[in-house]
Structure 1
Amino acid sequence: MLPGRALLGNHNGYWNPAILKRLREREYDAIILGGYNHFTMLAAAWYAHRKRIPFYLMSEVYLRQPRAAWKKLVKAPFLRFLLRQAAGGLPTGTLACEYLEFYGLKRAQMCFVPNVPDIETLRSQAQDLWKSGKMELRKSLGLDAAPMILFVGRLLALKNVHVLIAAFNEIRKAYDLQLVIIGDGPERQRLTNLCKELGCADRVRFAGFVAPQKLVSWYCAADVFVLPSSDETWGVVVLESLACGTPVIVSDMVGSAPDVVNSPEVGSIIPANDVSALTRALELRLKNTSSPERVAKVWEPVAQKMSYQFIAHELVEFLRKSSSVGGQ
């Protein structure tokens, strides 16, 4: 870890003064850049180009994400220039691939490197919990027996948790339900007040921060996981839920959606910011439940492609072929 600081504030324009010195200390077959919004990465790209070392650009951004017009105008020529120098790109998924392609990179120059949790470990832990059943799991978590809707994430405005609460308030008029919101953040008080205003505070539990190793129990206890974000670059929590056998409802602004929701049995993709669409999706999910074993079976092809072993194998083969690394 090199010492450094953000020159532009808000974790942007990060600069590690020792980067060029560190790069000169040994020879590299290839250099992978974790993006292009930090001065350190641009310095590494300049060094790689100067030394004729192939470099690859990782990206999880997609075209539909809201960005200021001036930023798009300034970024376009710069990013096209950078990608012309790059040996290839490493997008997280389909939407990020389209983004890199839009700015000039060819599909043949890309290898998917999705941002994934430890799928195999999560599935193994979940399978042990399935034996207990959702009722027992909910009881152990201090919940009642009613069907449970789950959200996990930072409580930020762009997560659209208020949309979920509004949809929950609508559907609970016809169903006995409970909503669990895991996570903390600047929106918590506003969301708590919203629940009181709607009169559903007694059926919404704000669980706060939950340690990652304990999340499996919450995923397995839920009937459906919801991520209604208006701007979500990827969404690891979606994969965590599916790895635990819990179906999902995600907005069309969740970057991982096209790559992980492979069947209506495992999930639904709805328009962002649409309370009515989310309400309908929740009702449909509650009427057509799937066992965790069934969700796991349908999601198996995705789980295999999202395993560490598969991703590492594909990346190594891609680097060998595209950078002439050979057998190293």
Structure 2
Amino acid sequence: MRILIIHNQLWAHYKSRLFSEIYSSLKEKYPESAFLVVQIALYEASRSAMQSDESIVYDYPYQVLFSRSLDSVRFPERLKSLFKAFHTYKPTVLNITGYFDWAQVLLMFYARMRGVKVVLSSESSSADHNRSALKERLKRFIVNRANAFFCFGKTSAQYLESLGVNPATILVRNAAVIDEEIIRTRYDLAKKQFGNEHLIRKFIFTGRLAPEKNLSLLIRAFYNVQHTDSGSWQLLLVGDGPERDLLENLTRSLNLADKVTFAGGFPWYKVPEWLAKSDVLVLPSKSEPWGLVVNEAMTCGMPVLVSDKCGCAADLVEPGKNGLTFDPENQSALEEAMRFFMQNPDRIVPMGNESMKMIAPFSSKHVASRMADCYKSLSRKG
């Protein structure tokens, strides 16, 4: 069994954790197998300024085709290099990333002609973009050339099924993983360091300060709930982006400067330190294929408030058990959800404990073990 994964960029830490766990699982279960991840580029241009932590090392065999940004790699370059890597490695199973890169799609078609089994990894859901009938027909044709599928969760599986995919071929339905070991270890360390500093309760958002994140609505909702409730709560926004000035101006206009903190942007491995200073995660996005920050917060034992337009909501939020969901177009619904925790702070810890239980099936080790078994099963089929 020779497994070849095509992935877009090396600087995708959570995927690196998954690849490491797959490699480890294969060595343990199927020592005769060979495994290689071909990374097309080092990073996406939008993430070029991201810092890395050299103490975090991932162990899996990989090859980087272009030591520059993914955006700068032209289609002919990708196509030629991917086909060369394919012929050099001679896989029995090919795992491609999505269906948006025509170089990978053409490689999939070619692999099928050569008798190689193809797995398509998909994160998309029906709600994360506007859809056109022509594009949907094209996607239907593409995805149904694959032998099997790995998807993030329920909504991405449902979307594949809407494109005509046989549900029995969706072999992994919980591929939305994070590096839970690093996240939880650094969260626990930060909790010990802060001690009793965390006296004022906080809602926290982490991510890009961008229009699709719906942060103006979050700030206005927070203004209304803190204005009408006696509880002393604050709002912490961790991230940077094109709407920062607009959001800071909105905060000042509502006289919330002492209640809303703009922490700025931080690399992923620093986020647990901010989660440790907070109580409840809020993700109010108008559109989100998944929302891995919810995985992070749940791994840290936090309850979550999640927009029902986020792909993760169907899998990770059970209203009243570990958090609440809301319509991101309905400010009153978000206010009601926030007010629940302000008026019931005794529910924070037990609901956070439920979060930790519910996120367990999404552990990188658990998912990787399942993927290794799927690769083996595909290799056995004629």
> Could you say which TM-score interval applies, normalised by the shorter chain?
0.7 to 0.9
Q: 1:151 aligns with which of 194, 205, 210?
A: 205
Q: Deviations over 1:80-133 (max 9, x none)?
A: 222222101111000000000010111210122422212234334434555577
- Within 5 A, what are the aligned runs for 1:254-269? 254-262=310-318, 264-269=320-325
Q: How does 1:156-175 map to 2 (within 5 A)?
A: 156-173=210-227, 174-175=229-230
Instruction: Decide whether the 8 Å contact of 1:119 with 1:306 is kept in 2.
Output: no
2:87 aligned with 1:24, yes or no?
yes
Match of 2:110 in 1: 47
- Give 2:169's aligned residue: 109
For 1:120, the equivalent position in structure 2 comes to: 181
Change (3 A) 1:314 1:274: same
Q: How does 1:206-225 map to 2 (within 5 A)?
A: 206-225=262-281
Name the structure 2 match of 1:244. 300
| Contact kept? 1:31, 1:48, Cα under 8 Å | yes
Q: Which residue of 2 aligns with 1:61?
A: 124
Q: Secondary structure at 2:320's aligned position in 1?
A: coil
Query: In 2 relative to 1, CA 67–14 (structure 1 residues): closer, same or farther, beyond 3 Å?
Result: farther
| 2:288 matched residue in structure 1 | 232
User: C-alpha displacement at 1:56, in angstroms?
Assistant: 1.4
Show the counterpart of 1:305. 361
Q: 1:189 to 1:12 in 2, by over 3 A?
A: farther
Instruction: Give the TM-score of the pair, scaled to structure 1.
Output: 0.87
Q: 1:36 aligns with which of 64, 81, 99?
A: 99
What is the percent sequence identity of the aligned residues?
29
Shift, 1:300, TM fit: 3.9
> How big is each residue's C-alpha offset from its partner over 1:45-70, in whole Å with a ceiling of 9 and x where there is no partner?
122122121111111111123415xx
State whether residues 244 and 292 of structure 1, in contact with CA within 8 Å, keep that contact through their aligned partners in structure 2. no
| Contact 1:15/1:40 (8 A) holds in 2 | no
Gaps of 5+ in 2: 1-63
Alpha carbons of structure 1 residues 205 and 305: separation in structure 2 relative to 1, 3 Å: same
Q: 1:308 to 1:28 in 2, by over 3 A?
A: same
Give the strand-richer structure, 1 or 2: 2
- SS of 2:297's partner is helix
Q: Which residue of 2 aligns with 1:99?
A: 159
Q: Is the 8 A contact 2:341 2:348 kept in 1?
A: no
Letter aligned with residue 164 of structure 1 = L
Question: Is the Cα–Cα contact under 8 Å of residues 230 and 253 in structure 1 kept in the other structure?
Answer: yes
1:73 maps to 2:133? yes
CA 1:282–1:41: 2 relative to 1, 3 Å: same
CA deviation digits over 1:5-28, x for unaligned, max 9?
999x79997961311112111211
Q: Report deviation, 1:135.
A: 4.1
Provide the TM-score with structure 2 as the length reference.
0.75
Identify which range, 81-90 or 230-239, moves more after superposition: 81-90
The size of the alignment, in residue pairs, is: 315
User: 1:297, CA displacement in angstroms?
Assistant: 3.5
